[in-house]
Chains A and B, each alone.
Chain A
Amino acid sequence: MIVALKCSIHKFICAKSDNINVVHLLLINILITIIISIESYPVNLYRSQFVVLLCLIFLSPTLVFAGDAVNVDVVNTLWVVIAGAMVFLMQAGFAMLETGMVRAKNAVNVMMKNYMDLCVGTLLFWLIGYGLMFGNNPSGWVGTSLFGLASAPNWDYTLLFFQIMFAATAATIVSGAMAERTNYVAYLLGTIGITAIIYPIFGSWAWNDQGWLKQMGFIDFAGSTVVHSVGGWCSLAAIMMLGPRLGRFAEKGQKDPVRAMPGHNLGYVAIGGFLLWFGWFGFNGGSTLAASTNVGHILLNTHMAGAAGAVAAMLISFITRQPILMTKAVNGSIAGLVAITAGCASMQVPYAVLTGAVGGVLSVLGVIWLEKMRLDDVVGAVSVHGLCGAWGTLAAGLFLTGNMFNLHQVIVQLIGIGSAFVWVFFSALLMYFLISKVATLRVSTMHEQRGLDITEHGEIGYPEFGNDTAYSSENLKDLKNYKK
C-alpha cells in the first residue's frame, strides 16, 4: 500500500513538474518523510488508513493548484485585494497614531474622524472620485466615465477596491493636522471635497494613462505625491484656515513661544506606527497591480527606507540637541516610508536608504519650521506627508535605476511636485474657506475647553480614568447644552 502510494506521488511530481512550485515541493517532501517514518514502525491495523489520510491532507492544496493551470489574473487579483486589505489597516494605524498624539479629552473625536472619513470617502470616491481619476480622459486633465461603478469586468472591481483605500488614506492624513479644534461636520465636508474632487483630479493627471503628467513620464509609483503630498498640502491649507489650538503659541516676545502639548498615549503612537508600517507593504507592494517577482525588491526598499527614516530622525534630534522623542522616531519612520513610496520600484536599495533617511531628517526640520511659522500641525502631517512626499517624488527621478540624475526626468518630477502643490493647496484653501462660511470650521473656545469628545459626540474616551480632569462621565449628564 505504502509503496504504491510513494510511486503514485513520484509519478504525480513527474507529470506536473511544470506547475509545481516551492510550496508544493515542501509539502511533498514532508509527506514522504512522514510516510518513511511510519513504515519503520511495527505494522498495526490503522497504519494504511493513516497514510492515506496524510496524503489527503498534504496533497489537497497541491492537487488544487495542480488541477487548474495557474491563472495569472486570479493570482494578481488575489495579491491586489490582499494588498488593499493591508492598506485598509493603515486607517487603524492613522487612528492610533493621531489619537495618541492628542489630549485625552479629544481621543474619541480623532478616532471618529478616522473611522468616518474612511466611510464617507469610500462612498464619494466610488460615486465621483474613481470616475474623475481613472475614467476616460481624452483631455489629460480629468476622467469622464466610470462614475458610481455598478457593473464592470472583475479587474475593475479589484482596482476600485484598491484605489478606494488610497483615496481614504489621502483624506485621513488631514484629520491629524486639524485635530482638537475642528468642527466634526466641517471636517467630513472637507473629506468629501478631498476624495471626490481634489485627490482624484490630481490623480487623473499622474496615474490615468491619458493624464498629462503621466504622458510626460512623471514617476510616482505608489503615491508619494499623489496620495501623501495631496494629504499634506490639504493639511497645510486646513491649519492655515483654522489657526492654532488655544494657547499653542505664546505671545511674541515671551520666553517659550512654542508650548508643548504632549499626546495622552504614546503606546498608541507606537502601535499606530507599527500598523502603518505593515500597511505600507500593501500600499507599495500592491501598487504593482500584479503578483510579480519585483514585489520583494519593492517591499525591501520600503522597509529599508522606513528604518532609515527613524534612525535619521533620531540622529538629527541628537545632533540638534533635542530630546529623542518617540513621536519623532515614529514620524521619522513614516517620513521614510512616504519618501520611498514614489521610487520604491525603481531605485536600488542604497538609494532607498538615502531617500528614507533624508525623509526622516525633513520630518524633524519641517516640524520646527512650521512651529516658527506659528502653524499648529498636531501630528506633523505637513512635514511628514507633504514635504517628504515631495522629496520622495524628486528622489524617484534622481535615483532612477539605469537613468540616474537625468535632468529631463528631474524636471518632470519637479513639474509634478509643483503642480500638485498649486492645485491641491489652493483648491483646499478655497474649500476650507467656503466650509468656514457655510458651516463652522473651528469650534468655539467653550468646545475646546470641554474637549471635542463631549461637545461633538457626547461621550468621554476614558470614563474610568479621569482623575485629573475637569470633566468626567459622571458629570456628563449634568452638562447642560454640551453642544452649545
Chain B
Amino acid sequence: MELLLRRRAIFTGMRPYFDDHELLEAIHLWQAEYAQKPKFALSAFVARCCSSPQLKAQRASILGAIFSAFDFPENKLLPDPLEVLKLSKDSVDAHHHVVDAKTKVFTELLVHILLKFNGLDQQLILNYLIAHLPKIKTDERRTMHLRVWLSRQIDNLHANSLQANFSAEILQQLINISYVAMCEYAGPVRADQFLSQAMKETEPLAASLDFKLHDLL
C-alpha cells in the first residue's frame, strides 16, 4: 500500500477521536517514525498519541478503527490529511508567505537531486530526510513545515513550495543529509556525480536570484 493511502487510512481511523491539532501532530509522528515500520508497530504509535486518560481508555477502539480503515476501498477513505489539516490551519499564512532566494534555490536543488532517481529511491531518500529531521536544530514550526513539504514531495516532486524560510546553515545540513541518503541508496560515486549535476542544473536559477549556490554546500 503506498504511503499516501496509508496516511489517509490512519487519518480516517483516527479522525473521530482527535481534534485537528492533535491529528496533525499524530500524522507527522507516524510519517517520521512509523511509516516504514510493519503494521504491528501501529500499537506503539497509538499508545504514544493517546496522552489523556480519555484517549487511553479508547486505545483499543482507535487501533481497531485504523486497522479497519486499512481495508477500506480508496473512495471510502478521507482525503490526504496533510492537505486538509494544513489548508484549514495555515491557509491564510501560506497565502502571504514569501519564499526567500536561498530557500527557493534549495528546493530547486533538492528536486534536481531527486529527479536523478526512480520513484522508489526518491521515496526512500525523502523518508530518510524526514527521519533525520530531528537532527536539524530549528524551531518546531519550521520543522513541521519541512516535514509537510517533504511528505508532499513523496507524492509530487513539484508540489507546493516550502512555507518557511531557513538559514543557509540549516539548508546545508539538509543537503548533507540528502547526500548521505544518496550514498546509502546509490553509492558514493553516483552521489558525487548527482550532486554535481544537480548543482549545474540549479545554477541558472541561483544566478537569476543573485544567490551563491555554493552557500548551500
Interface size class of B (residues with CB under 8 A): 20 to 34
Complex partner residue of A478 from B176, B177, B214, CB under 8 angstroms: B214
Give the chain A neighbours of B217 by CB distance below 8 A.
449-450, 470-471, 475, 479
B199 in contact (CB, < 8 A)? yes
Give the A-B contact count at a CB cut-off of 8 A: 64
Complex partner residue of A247 from B184, B195, B196, CB under 8 angstroms: B184
Q: Are A247 and B214 in contact (CB under 8 A)?
A: no
Give the chain A neighbours of B199 by CB distance below 8 A.
470
The complex places the Cα of A260 from the Cα of B214 at a distance, in Å, of: 28
Across the two chains, which residue of chain A brings its CB closest to B183?
A: A247
Q: Are B176 and A445 in contact (CB under 8 A)?
A: yes
Q: Are B192 and A445 in contact (CB under 8 A)?
A: no
Q: How many residues on A have C-beta within 8 angstroms of the other chain's C-beta atoms?
A: 24
Give the chain B neighbours of A250 by CB distance below 8 A.
184, 187
B191 in contact (CB, < 8 A)? yes
Q: Are B183 and A246 in contact (CB under 8 A)?
A: yes
Q: Are B196 and A468 in contact (CB under 8 A)?
A: yes
The complex places the Cα of A245 from the Cα of B187 at a distance, in Å, of: 10
Closest Cβ–Cβ distance, residue B36 to chain A (whole Å): 12
Q: Are A262 and B196 in contact (CB under 8 A)?
A: no
Q: Are B196 and A480 in contact (CB under 8 A)?
A: no
A154 in contact (CB, < 8 A)? no
Closest Cβ–Cβ distance, residue A40 to chain B (whole Å): 72
Closest Cβ–Cβ distance, residue B84 to chain A (whole Å): 35
The complex places the Cα of A261 from the Cα of B168 at a distance, in Å, of: 30
B64 in contact (CB, < 8 A)? no
Q: Mark A10-35, 1 if CB is under 8 A from B, else 0.
A: 00000000000000000000000000
Give the chain A neighbours of B176 by CB distance below 8 A.
445-446, 449
Q: Mark B180-210, 1 if CB is under 8 A from A, else 0.
A: 1011101111011101100100000000000
The complex places the Cα of A348 from the Cα of B200 at a distance, in Å, of: 61
Q: Mark B158-171, 1 if CB is under 8 A from A, else 0.
A: 00000000001000
- Within A222-259, the residues touching B (CB, 8 Å) are 245-248, 250-251, 259
Give the chain A neighbours of B192 by CB distance below 8 A.
103, 105, 469-470
Q: Are B183 and A479 in contact (CB under 8 A)?
A: no
Q: Are B188 and A445 in contact (CB under 8 A)?
A: no
Across the two chains, which residue of chain B brings its CB closest to A450?
A: B217
Q: Are B188 and A246 in contact (CB under 8 A)?
A: yes
Q: Are B188 and A247 in contact (CB under 8 A)?
A: yes
B172 in contact (CB, < 8 A)? yes
The complex places the Cα of A475 from the Cα of B189 at a distance, in Å, of: 21
Across the two chains, which residue of chain A brings its CB closest to B193?
A: A468
B179 in contact (CB, < 8 A)? yes
The complex places the Cα of A247 from the Cα of B184 at a distance, in Å, of: 5
The complex places the Cα of A484 from the Cα of B192 at a distance, in Å, of: 20
B140 in contact (CB, < 8 A)? no
Q: Mark A464-484, 1 if CB is under 8 A from B, else 0.
A: 000011110001001110000
Closest Cβ–Cβ distance, residue B68 to chain A (whole Å): 32
B215 in contact (CB, < 8 A)? yes
Give the chain B neighbours of A261 by CB distance below 8 A.
187-189
Closest Cβ–Cβ distance, residue B204 to chain A (whole Å): 16
Give the chain B neighbours of A260 by CB distance below 8 A.
189
Interface centre among A446, A449, A471 (most CB of B within 10 A): A449
Give the chain A neighbours of B177 by CB distance below 8 A.
445
The complex places the Cα of A469 from the Cα of B200 at a distance, in Å, of: 10
Closest Cβ–Cβ distance, residue A376 to chain B (whole Å): 11
- Within A416-457, the residues touching B (CB, 8 Å) are 445-446, 449-450
Closest Cβ–Cβ distance, residue B195 to chain A (whole Å): 5
The complex places the Cα of A27 from the Cα of B184 at a distance, in Å, of: 68
The complex places the Cα of A251 from the Cα of B195 at a distance, in Å, of: 21
Give the chain A neighbours of B187 by CB distance below 8 A.
247, 250, 259, 261
Give the chain B neighbours of A103 by CB distance below 8 A.
188-189, 192
B89 in contact (CB, < 8 A)? no
Q: Are A259 and B184 in contact (CB under 8 A)?
A: no
Give the chain A neighbours of B215 by CB distance below 8 A.
478, 480
B48 in contact (CB, < 8 A)? no
Across the two chains, which residue of chain A brings its CB closest to B175?
A: A449
B212 in contact (CB, < 8 A)? yes
Across the two chains, which residue of chain B brings its CB closest to A454?
A: B217
Give the chain A neighbours of B183 by CB distance below 8 A.
246-247
Q: Are A470 and B189 in contact (CB under 8 A)?
A: no
The 4 closest A-B pairs by CB, nearest first: A247-B183, A246-B183, A259-B187, A247-B188
Binding site for A on B (CB under 8 A): 168, 172-173, 176-177, 179-180, 182-184, 186-189, 191-193, 195-196, 199, 212, 214-215, 217
Can you list 18 A-B contacts (CB < 8 A)? A245-B188, A247-B182, A247-B184, A250-B184, A251-B184, A445-B177, A449-B195, A449-B217, A468-B193, A468-B196, A470-B192, A470-B196, A470-B199, A470-B217, A471-B214, A471-B217, A478-B214, A480-B168
With A247-B183, A262-B189, A470-B196 given, can you name 11 additional A-B contacts, CB distance below 8 Å? A247-B188, A247-B191, A248-B188, A250-B184, A250-B187, A445-B176, A445-B179, A445-B180, A446-B172, A446-B173, A449-B217
